[in-house]
Amino acid sequence: MIDDELIGEAHLRHIVESAMDAIITINAEQRIVLFNPAAQQMFRCAATDALGQPIDRFIPQRFRPAHQGHIETFGHTRVTNRRMGMLGTVTGLRADGDEFPAEASISQFDTSTGKFFTVILRDITQRKRAEAALQESEARFKAFMDNSPTIAFLKDTQGHYVYVNRPFEMHLNKPAAHVLGKSVFEVWPSDIAHKLHDHDAKTLVADTTIEHVEVIPDAKGELRQWLVLKFPFRDSSGTRYVGGVGLDITHRKDLEEQLRQTERLAELGTLASGMAHEIGTPMNVILGRAEFLMRKTQEEQTKKGLETIVAQVERITKLMNQLLTFARRRPSERRAMDLRTTVETCLEILSERLARHHVKVDTTIPLDLPPVHADQDQMSQVFLNLFINAVHAMPEGGQLRIAAEPTGNHVTVTVADTGHGIPAEYLTKIFTPFFTTKEVGKGTGLGLTVVHGILQEHGGSITVESQKDQGTAFTLMLPVSPSQ
């Protein structure tokens, strides 16, 4: 019959030999008496080379004094073991000089031959690399989101914010510390919060991405329009959230409104031009006959009646003139303006129209182009007029080319199309009010007049070159901002 003690020793030896963690036993002199296969693999050292050696051999020089102190202190306590992780992360030294992080547990026991300490080590190099990679990934993602031109947020299904990026904090003046964990009703005024919550609910119900235009106050408290894409989101546990990114489109909306106003003004100009033509001639006849009769009549009562007729005809004429000059521009507010951004914004507003008419756009504007001294809204009106005219000139499609370059104290901008061109005899007249090459009822003759007036007010200029069936090119000169 096999002795139970021998069976126990064999079983223990098998456990030590097959363990995946390194197991090292040292005596009271801190010399190695047990070095299992996992320790040999971890430290890249054979047991024959490790047994009898001081444990310091496998500890970096800088940690040896502290390690010796820890072992001595541990030996004097009544504690028999400390679990894995209680010692924190320790640093091991492989036989080839490579250092590595490890978790350790330690135990002590007494025998008839003296005190012994057993250390179990687990190499956590891969875990540390994974943690470092995760931290790097999180830092990269945070930097990406914090440098994004869009605001970004994440909310739970109850409307509580669980994440906001840096642009959210900056543009909306809502620090993360004052937002996270709070619902939209705690962060925003009631009317705004209800709309945001309704949009969140619709997104969750639809279970798909939905585009919303939301009105939210900015850092100054001014209401801004944001194009927000909201989407449902589930984390690894299946918990649902509403994610969203938003872009401030207030300026674009303002430009769209200016475009609508320009088109309404054009319609008004067409109406006023037609009325002036249709009403002007008979009014002149009535005025002329009334004045003639006033000179002939001697009757005071008749003369008074004719004077009333003259006054009313002059009133009608004045009203017609007021209609024709209805869209007088406000005083310009000039400052340093990025021409490239203004051109790109105008092209974006007209993108659908350009695509519908098969007009390809070629833009050449240097990134280092100096800013011009101009009113952004008025310059948007200039480019919208020129671009729309170019589209009209290319009913079957073509190319719109926009280029800019510095020229001394000015910036030269060229807007050219490949349309039907302007006859030579008309080139000297195109900036004249109410002159148009378009069919009757399709143009007011005011657009280029307005463009010419704006550029003159800015201390700039506009010229035109055109060849029939070859296209038209407008050249604009704008003063560089004094700050340059």
pTM of the entire structure? 0.46
The yes-or-no verdict on residue 99 having pLDDT over 70 is: yes
pLDDT class of 88 with cuts at 50, 70, 90: low
Angstrom distance (rounded) from CA 278 to CA 193: 55
Instruction: Return the pLDDT at 322.
Output: 47
Q: Which of 324, 345, 375 is the last residue of a domain?
A: 324
Return the structure tokens found at 413.
């901008």
The answer to whether residue 7 is domain-embedded is no
Domain check: are 346 and 459 in the same one? yes
Amino acid at 113: T
Look at residue 166 and tell me whether its pLDDT is greater than 50.
yes
Query: Is the pLDDT at 8 greater than 60, yes or no?
Result: no
Q: Which tokens go with 36?
A: 């299992």
In a domain, 372, yes or no: yes
The verdict on 407 and 305 lying in the same domain is no
The whole-number pLDDT of residue 325 equals 45
131 domain residue, yes or no: no
Structural domain boundaries, residue 466? 335-479
Confidence of residue 44 (pLDDT cuts 50, 70, 90): very high
Residues 102 and 185 in one domain: no
- Provide mean pLDDT across the span 211-227: 87
Is 1 part of any domain?
no
Percent of the chain with pLDDT over 90: 42
* pLDDT at site 369: 93
Q: What is the pLDDT of residues 413-456, one digit of tens each?
A: 999 999 989 888 888 777 766 556 665 444 445 678 778 888 88
Q: Where are the beta strands (DSSP E) in 323-374?
A: 335-337, 359-364, 372-374
User: Average pLDDT, stretch 391-419?
Assistant: 93
Is residue 280 in some structural domain?
A: yes
Domain boundary among 278, 303, 324: 324
Do 80 and 216 fall into the same domain?
Answer: no
Q: What is the mean pLDDT of residues 186-201?
A: 92
Quick: pLDDT tens for 65-76. Answer: 887 777 777 777
Report residue 265's pLDDT band, with 50, 70 and 90 as the boundaries: low
Kindly state whether residues 389 and 428 are assigned to the same domain.
Answer: yes
* pLDDT the model gives residue 23: 93
> Residue 96 has what pLDDT?
94
What confidence category does residue 388 fall into, taking pLDDT thresholds of 50, 70 and 90? confident
Has residue 293 got a pLDDT over 90? no
- pLDDT at residue number 64: 87
Residues 6+ apart with CB under 8 A from 188: 196, 216
Kindly report the average pLDDT of the chain as a whole number.
Answer: 84
On whether residue 230 sits in a domain, the answer given is: yes
Per-residue pLDDT averaged across 314-318, rounded?
68
pLDDT at residue number 329:
47
Residue 279 has pLDDT above 80, yes or no: no
Whole-number Cα distances in Å, 1 to 5, 6, 7, 8, 14: 12, 11, 11, 14, 21
Position with higher pLDDT, 169 vs 220: 169
Residue 102 sits in the same domain as residue 44: yes
| Residue-by-residue DSSP string for 21-90 | SEEEEEETT-BEEEE-HHHHHHHT--HHHHTTSBGGGGS-GGGHHHHHHHHHHHHHSS--EE-TTTT-EE
What is the percent of the chain with per-residue pLDDT over 70, rounded to a whole number? 84
Q: 340: helix, coil or strand?
A: helix
Range 136-146 average pLDDT: 88
pLDDT above 50 for 326 = no
pLDDT band at 165 (very low <50, low <70, confident <90, very high): very high
- 70: amino acid identity, one letter: H
Local confidence band at 212 (pLDDT 50, 70, 90 cut-offs) = very high
Q: Are 343 and 376 in contact (CB under 8 A)?
A: no
Contact 453, 434 (CB under 8 A): no
Residue 272 within any structural domain of the chain: yes
Same domain, 270 and 363: no
Same domain for 284 and 199? no
| H-helix or E-strand spanning residue 168 | helix 166-172
- Which tops the pLDDT comparison, 375 or 10? 375
Return the exposure string of 13-32: e unless at least 16 CB atoms fall within 10 Å of the residue's CB, then b: eeebeeeebbbbbbbeebeb
Q: In this structure, are 222 and 351 located in the same domain?
A: no
Residues 6 or more apart whose Cβ sits within 8 Å of residue 354: 347, 361, 387, 391, 400
Residue that is last in its domain, among 66, 88, 123: 123
* Cα–Cα nearest to 430, from 389, 477, 396, 371: 389
| Domains identified in the chain, total number | 4
For 162, the token pair is 């669980």
Same domain, yes or no, for 146 and 55? Answer: no
Stretch 359-363: mean pLDDT: 95
What is the CATH classification number for the domain harbouring 53? 3.30.450.20
Residue 132 lies in a domain: no
Local confidence band at 309 (pLDDT 50, 70, 90 cut-offs): confident
Q: Assess whether pLDDT exceeds 50 at residue 159.
A: yes
Mean pLDDT across 107-115: 85
Q: What is the pLDDT of residue 87?
A: 57
Both tokens of 249, joined, read 């489109």
Same structural domain for residues 319 and 340? no
Same domain, 275 and 389: no
Contacts of 366 (CB under 8 A, 6+ apart): 404, 405
